[in-house]
Structure 1
Amino acid sequence: MYEVTGRINGKARESANRMPISDKFTDTVAGQLHIASEADIDEALSSASVARTEAPLTSHDRADILRKAARLLADHSDELAEQQRVEAGFTVADGRREVDRAIETMLLSADEAIRFGGESVPLGSAPNTKNRMGITIRKPIGVVAAITPFNSPVNTIAHKIGPALAAGNAVVLKPAEQTPSPGNVLADVLFEAGLPAQWMHVVHGPGETVGAALVADDRSDYIAFTGSTATGAAIHRSAGLRKTQLELGSISCTVVAQDAVIDKGMLANTANAAFRKAGQVCTSIQRIYVHRDVEQQFTEAFLATTGALHVGDPSDSKTTVGPLISSQATDRVEAWIKEAVASGAELLIGGTREGTVIQPTVLRGVKPGMKMHDLEAFGPVVCIYTYENDNEVIDEINSTPYGLASGVFTHNLDRALNLANRLDVGTLHVNGTSSSRVDIMPYGGLKASGHGIEGPAYAVKDMSLETLLSLEWTS
């Protein structure tokens, strides 16, 4: 039984109020999480609010710390992979990929710390402004409250704290209570890299209490949140005029056009995008729209690829699909599968359950009115639909309340550009799936998928303030 404490002013912070941390595969208690008190949250925010004056850091300092932290993070790869196996149910491959991506995100953030600054504005382009010029000055926004999810307990934290620190902000982090340990490792690595204690704090506990307290406090100048749309909407209401970055839910779709190249690589990428992390990724493929001309070819090949996946114990290096985050989540996904089948959907493969593991499932004939069609599944389930023309598939994808990312497999440039212009999504991946994110890219959603942009170069700008300096002279 291990203990996970908070990090306040660089030191471990215990609490009398604790909650269990479960091993997601065995569904047994593995550790205890120390829940932050109101006093802990107050101390963290108070300290973070004065970080820049009491422990100033230049952009060079911030870049140097982030680079050192990235190198140190690599030394904790095995530890982080094991933490994710226990707390998130991640396979060995998924856990290591999280760490590798977080290292890249921290290095990208270090680059942005060096670039952090304003730009010139050509005021002389206006009439009668011959002797006038403008310069924008970028400044830190203050304290960033980062509230992160269980399904990316290393890299999403890096995407919040890396750009925040690069822009000169202090951070108070609340990791998901299901997966708290990696947040402490990232904080400790930053301290080891030279980050002053006031610049980074970790408070643990449920979002309904600890997260809500962070959001409600006006000393949180910027709230960066990844999670459900319902929680994101509540945060947005509570934040008022303060800036928020909200990466929320999705029903992510991928289109297989009639000219798609359906080969082993494409099928492997599609299955991985559907079932990695047990489908618990906001860009996981929930719907695949297949053109009628290639429906039989794709479906048969995709089912064969799905059936070959190794499912079960995430400690087995062969496993590619592990457990869901809880027995409650498993109950829900199982119930939705059964509801769809009872309502006329065809179960093509999977659908069975053992403990918190659901076999990768493919359904056909899912229709509006079924939960598996109308709501975000967040589980290892894919629904296959057929279509006959691009207008039909555009209307289908745009009919969801979400707009995070989509993918299309096609070599027709007209089709790709038409979809890019007409789909209401933040990202369209051509010859890639909805889950083809690279950490350097801008990443954000439309509609109920939220607002604000991740990706270090873009987040740094959003996590800062801008002042225009207007200069006029006589000659």
Structure 2
Amino acid sequence: MTDSKKSSAAEKSTAPKKVPKAAKASKILNVVNPFDQSIIGSVPTVTWNNIDKLLATSYQLHKDTEQWLPAFERISILKKTAVLMSQRADELALLIANEGGKPLADARVEVARAIDGVGLCVQEIAHLTGSQIPMDLTQAGAGRIAYSTKEPTGVVVAVSAFNHPLNLIVHQVAPAIATGCPVLVKPARDTPLSCKVFVDMLHEAGLPPPWCHFVVCDTATSEKMITDPRVAFFSFIGSANVGWMLRAKLAPGTRCALEHGGVAPVIIDESADIEEMIPSLLKGGFYHSGQVCVSVQRIFAPKSNVKAIAQLLADGAAKLIVGNAIDEFTECGPLIRPKEVDRVEAWVDEAVAAGAKLLTGGKRLSNTTYAPTVLLDPPVDAKVSTMEIFGPVVCVYGYSDINKAIAQANSLDYAFQASVFTKDLDVAMKTIRALDATAVMVNDHSAFRVDWMPFAGRKHSGYNTGGIAYTMQDMSQDKMAVIKL
């Protein structure tokens, strides 16, 4: 199928269905391919009056326990959704590439992960259990039986990011469905089509529409929705500035999970297998053009071989094919918006002017793409060294003392995932303990993840823990019954 036919097929498959009366649009949002800026589809946006009605419906659904969906129904809906996703996997992968700029090969992996994520939700429903609490440990409790059960926490509002437009939505919405929570989901305005298709699939699989609403709205309306007192749980994936600001404005009692970015460090020990690690670092640094919250950004290598390591990375980066993500051969797609290319260009230019050695890249290739870039020893106070670049840029620093390298890795306000490459067990264990991170990968890049592991940021990088099972626990609450015999 040609690219033009692919684009046409994607537009046709994502044409919005008739919008329910409660969510009639005030405007239409056009969605573009971030590489060539061509319009590939559109979705309706809604006003506060629409969302107010949806919140009221969702709130009443939760309040009326007679309307709660039993576990077997939730299991059936999610299983059917996974089947529908599998049947339309190629379409979903093309859609991810077309609206999000993720290379098609990686988009296919995202679809597979998303399908598995729905399956994980099904498995975890059986683990939403309470326990018996012994009462006769003291005389005061004797003559009683007590046990706890799990209940849905209430209305969930999920606000998502653009970089994994299907899998992130699955991680936020499917756990809500699995736990029995009504959910309103607001995808990134750049990438709403994958979310719309997923929500439609849930409905097609038998989920009554009031249990899951797809909403696209402006910033002010979104904030009003998030901070509404009817919201029991707020799930956010996006920038730290926005996430912390919204958390501060949540209504009393609203629980939340925030997933922000990082400036992921990698420690390379003298014993590391350099030939083996270079492909891993290239994948971790340039996957989705670096637009990943745990993307490899800062690499610390011994001064004795830092130049050789940096040059090998540069040689590999220079060979990466940059282009339209829907092209089968593309390895690095566009940045999500042209202004992000401007920002990355400015940060790299600043670092080079301040003394960083440019080994490859360092230039825009078009309005929407930036060349995969490797910098050697940029200043420690440069933006590329202290802030999440979210672009195809990897920085390499030489060190003479591994303790000082770890201290520099830990010096920022952001802490998410990290990694160490070594063949020395003592070094591995020491680095695991010393790095300020929620997960440390050994002999693998910092962006590794499977969907059943805990996934969370420390400090400015986030709040609470992601991952299917952890999110389902967050969206559930305990209730205890104490029965006097």
Q: Is 1:337 equivalent to 2:348 in the alignment?
A: yes
Cα distance, 1:6–1:203 mapped onto 2, change above 3 Å: farther
Distance in 2 of aligned mates of 1:19 and 1:186: 18
Does the 8 Å CA contact 1:365/1:385 hold for their aligned counterparts?
A: yes
- Bigger drift between 84-93 and 341-350 goes to 84-93
Distance in 2 of aligned mates of 1:388 and 1:125: 59
Q: Is 1:210 equivalent to 2:221 in the alignment?
A: yes
- Bigger drift between 36-45 and 278-287 goes to 36-45
Q: CA deviation at 1:431?
A: 1.7
SS of residue paired to 1:270 = helix
Paired residue for 2:113? Answer: 101
Distance in 1 of aligned mates of 2:37 and 2:31: 10
Q: CA deviation at 1:97?
A: 1.4
Paired residue for 1:32? Answer: 42
Paired residue for 2:5? Answer: none
SS of residue paired to 2:274 = coil
SS of residue paired to 1:286 = strand
Paired residue for 1:60? Answer: 72
Q: CA deviation at 1:26?
A: 0.6
Paired residue for 1:298? Answer: 309
Q: CA deviation at 1:70?
A: 1.1
Paired residue for 2:247? Answer: 236
Counterpart among 441, 445, 470 of residue 458 in structure 1: 470
Q: CA deviation at 1:144?
A: 0.6
SS of residue paired to 1:301 = helix
Distance in 2 of aligned mates of 1:426 and 1:388: 26
| Residue identity in the other structure for 1:43 | K
Cα distance, 1:354–1:436 mapped onto 2, change above 3 Å: same
SS of residue paired to 1:224 = strand
Q: TM-score, normalised by structure 1?
A: 0.93
Deviation track 1:306-353 (CA, whole Å, cap 9, x = no partner) reads 222111222221111010001101110011111111111110111121
Deviation track 1:424-468 (CA, whole Å, cap 9, x = no partner) reads 211111221110111010111110011111111111111111123
Q: Is 1:430 equivalent to 2:421 in the alignment?
A: no
Paired residue for 2:4? Answer: none
| Residue identity in the other structure for 2:350 | E
Q: CA deviation at 1:19?
A: 3.4
Distance in 2 of aligned mates of 1:454 and 1:304: 35
Distance in 1 of aligned mates of 2:321 and 2:135: 62
Counterpart among 329, 332, 346 of residue 321 in structure 1: 332
SS of residue paired to 1:394 = helix
Q: CA deviation at 1:183?
A: 0.8
Q: CA deviation at 1:133?
A: 5.6
| Residue identity in the other structure for 2:374 | V
Q: CA deviation at 1:50?
A: 2.7
Instruction: Tell me the matched-pair count.
Output: 470
Distance in 1 of aligned mates of 2:149 and 2:406: 42
| Residue identity in the other structure for 2:203 | F
Paired residue for 1:311? Answer: 322
Q: Is 1:267 equivalent to 2:278 in the alignment?
A: yes
Counterpart among 46, 51, 54 of residue 44 in structure 1: 54
Q: CA deviation at 1:12?
A: 9.7
| Residue identity in the other structure for 2:54 | A
Distance in 2 of aligned mates of 1:225 and 1:209: 16
Cα distance, 1:180–1:50 mapped onto 2, change above 3 Å: same
Paired residue for 1:149? Answer: 161
Q: Is 1:189 equivalent to 2:201 in the alignment?
A: yes
Deviation track 1:88-115 (CA, whole Å, cap 9, x = no partner) reads 1121112111111111111001111222
Q: CA deviation at 1:123?
A: 5.2
Q: Is 1:373 equivalent to 2:385 in the alignment?
A: yes
Q: CA deviation at 1:385?
A: 0.9
Structure 2 stretches of 5 or more lacking a match?
A: 1-7
Q: CA deviation at 1:80?
A: 1.8
Cα distance, 1:435–1:123 mapped onto 2, change above 3 Å: farther
Deviation track 1:192-232 (CA, whole Å, cap 9, x = no partner) reads 111111110000134x2232122121111100000000000
| Residue identity in the other structure for 2:173 | I
Overall identity of the aligned pairs, in %? 34
Does the 8 Å CA contact 1:7/1:184 hold for their aligned counterparts?
A: no
Cα distance, 1:65–1:416 mapped onto 2, change above 3 Å: same
Distance in 1 of aligned mates of 2:407 and 2:123: 40
C-alpha RMSD of matched pairs (Å): 2.2
Distance in 2 of aligned mates of 1:348 and 1:372: 15
SS of residue paired to 1:353 = coil
Distance in 1 of aligned mates of 2:18 and 2:247: 26
| Residue identity in the other structure for 2:282 | A
| Residue identity in the other structure for 1:225 | F
Paired residue for 1:20? Answer: 30
Does the 8 Å CA contact 1:123/1:133 hold for their aligned counterparts?
A: yes
Paired residue for 1:406? Answer: 418
Q: CA deviation at 1:411?
A: 3.0
Q: TM-score, normalised by structure 2?
A: 0.91
Does the 8 Å CA contact 1:232/1:248 hold for their aligned counterparts?
A: yes
Distance in 1 of aligned mates of 2:34 and 2:22: 25
Cα distance, 1:425–1:470 mapped onto 2, change above 3 Å: farther
Cα distance, 1:7–1:375 mapped onto 2, change above 3 Å: farther
Paired residue for 1:74? Answer: 86
Cα distance, 1:418–1:75 mapped onto 2, change above 3 Å: same
Distance in 2 of aligned mates of 1:195 and 1:33: 21
Does the 8 Å CA contact 1:8/1:202 hold for their aligned counterparts?
A: no
Does the 8 Å CA contact 1:7/1:202 hold for their aligned counterparts?
A: no
Deviation track 1:1-24 (CA, whole Å, cap 9, x = no partner) reads 958659866x89542323332220
Deviation track 1:367-407 (CA, whole Å, cap 9, x = no partner) reads 13321112110100000012233321221121111111111
SS of residue paired to 2:348 = helix
| Residue identity in the other structure for 2:224 | A
Distance in 1 of aligned mates of 2:76 and 2:142: 41
Q: CA deviation at 1:127?
A: 8.1
Paired residue for 1:279? Answer: 290
| Residue identity in the other structure for 2:200 | D
Counterpart among 386, 394, 400 of residue 398 in structure 2: 386
Cα distance, 1:290–1:12 mapped onto 2, change above 3 Å: farther
Q: Is 1:348 equivalent to 2:350 in the alignment?
A: no
Cα distance, 1:257–1:37 mapped onto 2, change above 3 Å: same
Does the 8 Å CA contact 2:228/2:251 hold for their aligned counterparts?
A: no
| Residue identity in the other structure for 2:157 | A
Structure 1 stretches of 5 or more lacking a match?
A: none
SS of residue paired to 2:156 = strand
Paired residue for 1:221? Answer: 232
SS of residue paired to 2:126 = helix
Does the 8 Å CA contact 1:254/1:288 hold for their aligned counterparts?
A: yes
